[in-house]
Chains A and B, each alone.
Chain A
């Protein structure tokens, strides 16, 4: 098995398409990281002065003065508490703060992790690693070299497993390294800006990233398994595209709950749990029979891992069985 692993590792890393995908998998997170840092960089004194000038001009305008007077006369209608600071409160309620003229969002690691660039990096890596797994297997089928390989090692499950281990391990480690570098970079930038990264926040982000790397490795394994099943890169990608486009619609039409949605489960793995809306019988005696209400629920990490893990194992089993039984061209 060690020999096979070594051979498959060489084969994987010698594939030009795989190498291109790995380069892209470094380039895109780099661009995302640089863009995130640039978009959140603190404003320069010149930018602040410019913003203050714009704010002053706007506050001196007749339109604003008229609106301010209305607010001061009847602050309750503007949602402002009466008091000595009513003028300032009215101005703020009308968006007259310097932040609205700076076009700047402070770098917040929590936001980047839960809904920002961190999540985007994981999604990009998962897609690219899936493509790597697909093209790795697809090339063997397209060139017909699978049959040649089987003339040297006829134990098909062993061949399948060796390729699968290499694809999963390489893409998982690669994604973990990229994601680790990404969060360490953002952490260093936040620290340099005296922003909070302590209390385990950076470690939480890294953990989320590592779970994302696991998702990327699983995506690579799924892409590989699907290609071994259908023996064609194009067929595998077509099915993946079709299922990603139509999958959600089918789930909704069939009436399967969100808890079975693969996308939600992936999010739950990355984010250590994800919230979703479920339709339940409305509580209380006043509710009509069959009347449903939407309630927010949490899908825990453990259940999402179980769901995706079982799905992946079933899928891999079908792929191995097909490879074992069908004639090889």
Chain B
């Protein structure tokens, strides 16, 4: 059995308008989420994150490609694995005139979960005292918490959370992030879809970055931070060092008497300069956060079209 919890191959989703227009929300996406930990699913608005999640959960049909959850092809075998998957997709969706508890009871009833699990889920998301109020009277943060409570009814092995901190106050955001981290530490695999880079960097152990429905990068957060990083190179003779680096295929830029060079591995820079007899006095990485890398990857993307809008 595969140790990948989520696996997509050549996943594609097209939306056709009545006028014959065609829009591709997801382009041949290969996604691999290993078991355990928190995996970030990062991309700007309209990049196809939600559409991908909706296809994985059987809410939307892929135009092409294959998908697997826990090694089982979906949507064909979705009924066999859905009991292990908890998910919040886009905004929480419950019956507005029912209480929070009644909404959870109905969902728990559908899977035969014991009544005690409803109480436990309410307690976990700290909705005690408001669970008997109508859902429509809840704040957005409370609605998000109820949605997370619903995912906990299944005691899932995989949790898919689509922008779970939307609308939460800072304290709520911190609580949710702690909950996500705890779940990841406890062995639950969490796929956290987000466009908040700091969130992914803080919470996730690995991440996949997509843009315009295409895979841009994937790996552990450490690997992603190391990829394509720029370095500040300090040497006694910057002009000579620039010539050497340029001959070796790098593109050094002289800024304030120093060189800024993009490199996948810093060792390549030291080796090239050392072989030329130029000794470094300082080598400092300039990009140490995911945000810079993310912006570099998604630079020039068309953000105006929201892929999810077409589904709604």
Interface residues of A (CB under 8 A from B): 3-4, 6-7, 10-11, 14-16, 139-140, 143-145, 147-155, 325, 327-329
Question: In the complex, which residues 93-139 of chain B have their Cβ closer than 8 Å to any Cβ of chain A?
Answer: 93-98, 102-103, 105-107, 109-112
Q: Can you name the residue of chain B whose Cβ is closest to the Cβ of A144?
A: B93
Chain B residues near A152 (CB-CB < 8 A): 82, 107, 110-111, 154
Q: How far is the CA of A139 from the CA of B96 in the complex (A)?
A: 9
CB <8 Å contact, A154 and B58: yes
Q: How far is the CA of A329 from the CA of B59 in the complex (A)?
A: 7
B57 at the interface (CB under 8 A from A): yes
Query: Chain B nearest CB: distance from A2 CB in Å?
Result: 10
CB <8 Å contact, B61 and A151: no
CB <8 Å contact, A145 and B95: yes
Chain B residues near A149 (CB-CB < 8 A): 107, 110
Chain B residues near A14 (CB-CB < 8 A): 98, 102
Interface residues of B (CB under 8 A from A): 54, 57-61, 75, 78-79, 82, 85, 87, 89, 91, 93-98, 102-103, 105-107, 109-112, 150, 154, 311-312
Q: How far is the CA of A14 from the CA of B106 in the complex (A)?
A: 11
CB <8 Å contact, A16 and B97: yes
CB <8 Å contact, A3 and B112: yes
Chain B residues near A15 (CB-CB < 8 A): 97
Q: How far is the CA of A236 from the CA of B87 in the complex (A)?
A: 31
Chain A residues near B311 (CB-CB < 8 A): 327, 329
Q: Which of B60, B85, B87 contacts A328 (CB 8 A)?
A: B60
Q: Can you name the residue of chain A whose Cβ is closest to the Cβ of B54?
A: A327
**Given A139-B95, A147-B59, do A155 and B79 touch, yes or no (CB 8 Å)?**
yes
Chain B residues near A150 (CB-CB < 8 A): 57-59
Chain A residues near B87 (CB-CB < 8 A): 151
CB <8 Å contact, B96 and A325: no
Q: How far is the CA of A152 from the CA of B111 in the complex (A)?
A: 7
Query: Chain A nearest CB: distance from B204 CB in Å?
Result: 23
Chain B residues near A4 (CB-CB < 8 A): 110
CB <8 Å contact, B109 and A10: yes
Question: Which 3 pairs show the lowest CB-CB distances between chains A and B?
Answer: A144-B93, A327-B60, A7-B109
Q: How far is the CA of A143 from the CA of B94 in the complex (A)?
A: 6
**Given A3-B109, A6-B109, A154-B78, do A327 and B59 touch, yes or no (CB 8 Å)?**
yes
**Given A148-B150, A154-B75, A327-B60, do A143 and B54 touch, yes or no (CB 8 Å)?**
no
Q: How far is the CA of A107 from the CA of B96 in the complex (A)?
A: 48
**Given A3-B110, A6-B109, A7-B110, do A151 and B57 touch, yes or no (CB 8 Å)?**
yes
A interface secondary structure, majority: helix
**Given A3-B110, A152-B82, A329-B312, do A145 and B93 touch, yes or no (CB 8 Å)?**
yes
Query: Chain A nearest CB: distance from B126 CB in Å?
Result: 21
Query: Chain B nearest CB: distance from A97 CB in Å?
Result: 59
Query: Chain B nearest CB: distance from A329 CB in Å?
Result: 5
Q: Can you name the residue of chain A whose Cβ is closest to the Cβ of B55?
A: A327
Query: Chain B nearest CB: distance from A72 CB in Å?
Result: 75
**Taking each of B54, B59, B60, B87, which has the highest tally of chain A beta carbons within 10 Å of its own beta carbon?**
B59
Q: Can you name the residue of chain B whose Cβ is closest to the Cβ of A139?
A: B95
Q: How far is the CA of A328 from the CA of B90 in the complex (A)?
A: 13
CB <8 Å contact, B95 and A7: no
Query: Chain A nearest CB: distance from B22 CB in Å?
Result: 16
**Taking each of B61, B109, B311, which has the highest tally of chain A beta carbons within 10 Å of its own beta carbon?**
B109
Chain B residues near A143 (CB-CB < 8 A): 93-96
Q: Can you name the residue of chain B whose Cβ is closest to the Cβ of A156?
A: B58
Chain A residues near B106 (CB-CB < 8 A): 7, 10-11
Chain A residues near B107 (CB-CB < 8 A): 148-149, 152
CB <8 Å contact, A148 and B93: yes
Q: Which of B89, B98, B111 contacts A153 (CB 8 A)?
A: B111
Chain A residues near B54 (CB-CB < 8 A): 327
Chain A residues near B112 (CB-CB < 8 A): 3
Chain B residues near A3 (CB-CB < 8 A): 109-112
Q: How far is the CA of A34 from the CA of B112 in the complex (A)?
A: 46
Q: Can you name the residue of chain A whose Cβ is closest to the Cβ of B154?
A: A152
Query: Chain A nearest CB: distance from B186 CB in Å?
Result: 21
CB <8 Å contact, B89 and A147: yes
Chain B residues near A153 (CB-CB < 8 A): 79, 82, 110-111
Known: A152-B111, A154-B75, A155-B79. 8 other contacts (CB 8 A): A10-B109, A14-B102, A145-B95, A147-B59, A147-B89, A150-B59, A153-B111, A154-B57
Query: Chain B nearest CB: distance from A161 CB in Å?
Result: 14
**Taking each of A11, A16, A154, A155, which has the highest tally of chain B beta carbons within 10 Å of its own beta carbon?**
A154
Q: How far is the CA of A83 from the CA of B99 in the complex (A)?
A: 82
Q: How far is the CA of A24 from the CA of B60 in the complex (A)?
A: 39
Q: How far is the CA of A327 from the CA of B89 in the complex (A)?
A: 14
**Taking each of A143, A147, A327, which has the highest tally of chain B beta carbons within 10 Å of its own beta carbon?**
A327
Q: How far is the CA of A26 from the CA of B269 in the complex (A)?
A: 86
